[in-house]
Amino acid sequence: MRLLLLHTWGGDARTWAPALRSLCAGGRAAEAPDLPGHGDRADEPFTLAGAVETAAAHAAAGVPGGPADRAAGPGGSAEHPVDRPVDVVGSGLGALVALALARQRPAAVRSLTLVGFPPAGGPAAAGRLAETEERLRRAGTAAFARGYADGTLRAPDPARRELLRRAMAATRPRTLLDSLRATLGWADDEPPRPPGPPCLVLRGAFDERVGAEAAKTLAGRLGGAYAVVPGAGHVAYLDEPEAFAAVLGDFHHRLDRAAAGPAGRYGTEPAAPVRHSSGPPTPTLPER
């Protein structure tokens, strides 16, 4: 089953490079697009609708090499017909996009993994947005990006910090603020609905932005599981890429076993923690 990887706030597709070797073990295919306003699309404005369209295009059969002329099924569209559902993984901003995709195009999503989510709401959200705007105005994007990467990532490897720093430094301030506003403005205020795709809410053990209780509560509301990446902070896929891939792989392996046997659904029990194994992965995305 194909993976669709949606990057964190201020990141881009290349920030997934350290995790790709582990995520693609066994020849599994994965796609990590730039969301609007990020990476190679830095000149575009960010909107949540545009980000969801980007995710839908990569999840659907209409991506390069897919049967674009296939008729759209339930949950698809004429522009983005559904071929085979994908396992969608979103971190931070990417988690917001992933959740919106699962709600708007359910036939495109086999499973949903939300990492470093949900964001703080209420006064804390307003305060963070105002603080970020002021810091960007005073320090400029490059200095802000350096401070954010150093203050957020726990990974000792400077190359991983550089991936996030470079991506954020190349992102326009307006994009950073618009995408942060969209993420902080999220609220699960929709009425109850039938169970969606199997869901995993994943949190770094040392995530200072998303508390354990908030993540567990979200998992319960979505009828999903909660798991922890040991040693990781808010951007777990960059901090501990191998441990991140191991937790995610366990989730998807259970889905594969359920699909191969009697009908079943991944339950709400916590996934087992995974110990970190050392050794730097080799980035497999091309240099920009």
**Which residues lie below 8 Å from residue 144, measured CB to CB, with a gap of 6+?**
132, 135, 136, 168
Predicted TM-score (pTM) of this structure? 0.84
pLDDT < 70 stretches in the chain: 61-83, 189-194, 262-288
The confidence score (pLDDT) of residue 135 equals: 97
Cα–Cα distance, 199 to 228 (Å, whole number): 14
The confidence score (pLDDT) of residue 284 equals: 35
How far is CA 53 from its chain centroid? 15
Tell me the HSE value of 30 on the side-chain side, using a 13 A CA sphere. 25
The confidence score (pLDDT) of residue 18 equals: 96
Cα–Cα distance, 228 to 244 (Å, whole number): 9
Cα separation values, 205 from 171, 232, 243, Å: 28, 6, 11
- Is the CB of residue 163 less than 8 Å from the CB of residue 241? no
